[in-house]
């Protein structure tokens, strides 16, 4: 019908709202972006949606994930010295 206005998908809005509430209920509201983003992605949100909830971009979250993985590796690529 031409008179009908398109409605927003309310289930997506409700899902994002519940994810935001879960983020703060879990005590992650003040953690770093990487921790909050990974938590929201584990709840099922896409990276873009998780980024919008933590006020950043999806590309920024991707870069933060890459840096956090590189940091865990320690001294990768460096030769050992003999004692």
Whether 74 is in a domain gets the answer no
The domain of 36 spans 24-68
Whether 32 is in a domain gets the answer yes
Cβ 22 vs Cβ 35: under 8 Å: no
Whether 57 is in a domain gets the answer yes
Mean pLDDT of 57-64: 93
Whether 61 is in a domain gets the answer yes
pLDDT digits (tens, 9 = 90+) for 11-57: 888 888 998 899 889 888 888 889 999 999 998 889 999 999 888 99
Which residue carries 């949606």 as its tokens? Answer: 49
pLDDT band at 10 (very low <50, low <70, confident <90, very high): confident
Burial category of 77 from C-beta neighbours within 10 Å (exposed 0-12, middle 13-18, buried 19 and up): exposed
Number of folded domains in the chain?
Answer: 1
Classify residue 48 by its DSSP letter: H
Cβ 42 vs Cβ 11: under 8 Å: no
């Amino acid at each position: 019908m031409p008179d009908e206005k398109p409605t927003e998908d309310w289930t997506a809005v409700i899902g994002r709202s519940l994810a935001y509430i879960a983020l703060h209920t879990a005590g992650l509201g003040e953690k770093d972006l990487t921790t909050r983003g990974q938590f929201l992605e584990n709840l099922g949100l896409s990276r873009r949606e998780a980024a919008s909830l933590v006020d950043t971009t999806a590309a920024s979250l991707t870069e933060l994930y890459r840096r956090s993985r590189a940091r865990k590796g320690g001294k990768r690529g460096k030769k050992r010295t003999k004692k």
